[in-house]
Structures are given as C-alpha cells and as structure tokens.
Amino acid sequence: MLYDFNSHTSMGNHYDICIVGTGPAGITLARKLSQAGKKILLLEAGGLDYSQQSQDFYECESIGHNAWPQFSRLRYFGGTSNHWSGRCRPFDRSDFEARVINGLPGWPIRYAEVEPYLDEAMAILDLDRDMGFQPANDDLLKRHFSPDAYTKSPPTRFKGKYLSEIENSKNIDCFYNATAIDMQLDKPHQAITHIKVSNYNNFITTASAQKFILCLGGIETPRFMLNCKNQIPTGIGNSSDMVGRCFMEHLNVQMGSFLYRNIDNTAGMQFYTDDTFVNDNGIGKSNITFGIVKKIKSYGRTKEIKNFFKNLACQMAIEDKVQFISDFKCPGMGNIGTLIEQSPNLDSRVSLSKETDSFGLQRTKLDWQINKFDKQTIRKAGKAMAIEFARENLGTVRLSDFILDDSQKIKFGHHHHHMGTTRMSDNPRFGVVDRNSKVHDLDNLYIAGSSVFSTGGACNPTMPIVQLGLRLAEYLNTARKLG
C-alpha cells in the first residue's frame, strides 16, 4: 500500500523489516522480502515527484573537493534512478581479491558470492541477458588495456517500473513524505527497537520492526547514523569511528587530448586497465574514454563566423595557437576522459556540520580528498595509455601537464558515485558492516547500497548495488549466513 505521510499519519505498530530509502537498493529489498511473506515498512523522505523543499535537505558544507550532492542525488520515490544514465557493468572477479590499500582491507567477500545474483539484477534493470556485456570497440591497445565491456539499461526508472507493484502490495506499507529522524536503541544498546519518523507538517511518530535496513546512499546514510546520537553521542554503529570515513568517488580526469589517424572512424573508444598492469604497479583500476569530435560545432548568434575560423584553424593546423579565443577540437581530435577508481582513505569523509535542517538534524560536512595512491593511479594509467596509443599507431596523444609533472595539482571532477562511507569489513576496526551487511555494533541494523562498498572498482555502481541488495534479501529471507 502507498500512503502520503503528510495526510495519512496512521502507521502500523510493528513490522518484520523497516527499509529507509526507495532507490534501487531499497526497492529491490522491499520487493524480494515482501515476496517471501515479510511485512515491510518502506519509508521515502521525498514525495512521488521532485520538489525543491525535499531536495534542499541535500545541501551540505564542503571543505574538500566538491562532490555537489545537492545536484547529483534525487530525494523522491525511486531515488537517483530517476536520472541515472543506465550504464551497467558488474564488478570483476579481481575486485574481490584480497588486498590492502592505504592500510585498509578490501572486500571480505569473494566474486562467487555476488555472481549468482547477476541474472536477476539484469532483469530488474531491463538488460538483455543473452547479449550480456559487450566490448565497446576492438582490442586496439594490445598491452595493459582491454576494451571496456558494458551494456545500457533503457534506463530503468524504479518509480515508473515498480510504483504500481508497491502500491498494490499487501505486504508493503510505503509512506512517502516520511523522513526518518532518529532511531531508538534498547537498554543494552545492542538493537534498534523503534524508528522515529516526521512529515513536513511536524507530525512525528514511531514504528517498530524486527530488523531495519538503511538505503540512503553514500552521503545520507552516514549522516543519518551520526545524527542518531541521543543515546550514543558518537552516533549509532560508530564505536570504531568508521561511520562516514572512506568516502570514495569515481574520478573524472581530463587526461588530455588526442588526434586519431583513422578520421573516418568517429565512434570513440573505451578501454579498461587490465589486472596485470594494475597489480604490477600497485594502483587502482581505470576506465579511459576517447571521445572523438565528428565536426566543428558553434552556438549563438555568431556561430557561422565561429565555424569559419575554427575550420580554418584546423586546416592550417594552428588550432593550439587560437585556443585562447575559443576552446575547441578539430574533427578527428577529441578529449580523453576517465572513470578512475579512488582508493579507500580514512581522511576522505562525511561528518556533521554545525548547521541544521528544518527537522533539527545536522547537515552534512563533506571532506572529499584524494591521496598519493589516487594520484599514482591517474598518472601511471595516463602515461601507459599514451604510450600504447602511439605504439599501436592509432594517433597522437597530448597529455595534460599535470599527468607528466608530479608537482602540478591534478584537475579532476566527479561521476556522482558516492561510495564507501559504511564500508564492509570482517574487522570492525576497518568498517561499519560485516560480510552480511549487518552493522557490527547492532544485532538488527543492516545497510544496503554503495556506502557498503569496500572498494569502488572502475565501473558504474548500480549493477553491484542491485546484486548486493538481492544477496542481502536472500540472507534475511532464509536466515542463512552468507560467505
């Protein structure tokens, strides 16, 4: 059933499982658990559509590199699936191999523990399982890189696909405009007994459940946990001071530009660093894209004269001399972009700002940092890519100065993939949840979504999020230990 908590304030007294968040993780869990007969309370802080009132809760204080969560996340039913691009690739087997980065262990689970959920995850995301994950292009770089292999979801909007199913479910009570503002612990502080929920009219109630699952994303999940400090001053699940630490993104680095010899082929090229290169160099993974310019484009009232001068500059091979007038690339040229794995870093973190929102919860303070390991990944991958591109006689690469000069500051952006802030680890010293996604400190609190990622790989996170959600649902449905 579906209820607007602004107008329907009668909530059930007790549920088997309470799920907070209706993005891909939350909806996947709600569907699978309800199909097994569990009585589910599903909470969505936003409405059924975008509203600025709800979106404003993502405003944060940024003291490091800015990840812009207020623009990259969506706070209404379906979550950020409402504007994702649909690119899908699962983690590789090597992502789960035992390794230590920056003194932190990687995944405590192995590839075999997520692989069985791939087919169902593909169905959820409307992917063709027979087609699978196809190479983006030929194997043009023979050493250190292979073609990226991925597929595209339509993309699946979880609101459009699953809202009706949840509305008609007898086992799900879904309340929207229902913001979780606190959690109540039992006296030994070993389990959650109640969750406190508010609507936008300042009406507050509580609901109880046997188990609770947080599916709020890589920034809001730690923010909520740190705000639950009425009984434990440092926040729930935070005895090791790990909640909010190891914030990871995928690094979008403008490696440079290139001139491609085969000007008739304007499809672009995408490459993925191979495991041998990554392991031999002690770096993270990289996804590198060559985007080729097909023709000169200009905009505005003077676009015709702009096109004339740009084409003339290209014909005279003096485009680099006039970049100060207009930044452009000639046909056959292009930019080199990346989706690079960031390492887990204790100093890259989500904490609480002194500023509060209208519910009285402290807003996010985000200190997104990259470290020496990440810089080494960027520079080694960039240099190797340029060498191999020239070796295979594909064209000429002009690397950005900061790739070649270690003294220069690396320029990078984001892909809006927020990961790692409640990371998975067998040892509570190095993470927030165990291999079953249960918070170490508590008997009945679980976390789903990209915040549990121990490492982020170099692929988009939606596919692994859904796979791990299905894995957690099976565990909760069968009470069978995983791994």
User: What confidence score (pLDDT) does residue 71 get?
Assistant: 87
The pTM (predicted TM-score) of the whole model is 0.91
Cβ atoms within 10 Å of 343's Cβ, excluding its own: 22
Rounded Cα gap, residues 427 and 429, in angstroms: 5
The average pLDDT across 212-220 equals 98
Mean pLDDT of 375-384: 98
Strand partners for 168? none
Confidence of residue 265 (pLDDT cuts 50, 70, 90): low
Of the chain, the percentage scoring pLDDT greater than 70 comes to 89
Which helix (H) or strand (E) segment is 127 a member of?
none
The encoded tokens of residue 106 equal: 């990687």
| pLDDT classification of 263: cutoffs 50, 70, 90 | low
**Predicted confidence (pLDDT) at residue 322 exceeds the cutoff of 50:** no
317 confidence band (pLDDT: 50, 70, 90): very low
The average pLDDT across 107-116 equals 98
At 332, is the pLDDT very low, low, confident or very high (cuts 50, 70, 90)? low
Q: What is the mean pLDDT of the chain?
A: 91
CA 457 to chain CA centroid, nearest Å:
11
Angle at 404 between CA 401 and CA 410, to 5 degrees: 60
Other beta carbons within 10 angstroms of residue 323's beta carbon come to 12
Strand pairing class (286-292; 256-260): unpaired
Answer for the pair 203, 434: CB distance below 8 angstroms, yes or no.
Answer: no
pLDDT over 50 (residue 79): yes
Asked if residue 482 has pLDDT above 90, the reply is no
Is residue 406 a contact partner of residue 313, using CB atoms and an 8 Å limit?
no
Degrees, nearest 5: CA angle 108-466-112:
40
Whether the pLDDT of residue 8 is over 60: the answer is yes
Where is average pLDDT lowest: 76-90, 287-301, 464-478? Answer: 287-301
Domain assignments of the chain as residue spans, ordered by start? 2-133+154-247+420-478, 251-343+371-413
Q: Quick one: pLDDT at residue 296?
A: 42
Flag whether pLDDT at 69 surpasses 50: yes
Is the CATH number of domain 2-133+154-247+420-478 3.40.50.1370? no
- The pLDDT score that the predictor gives to residue 264 is 57
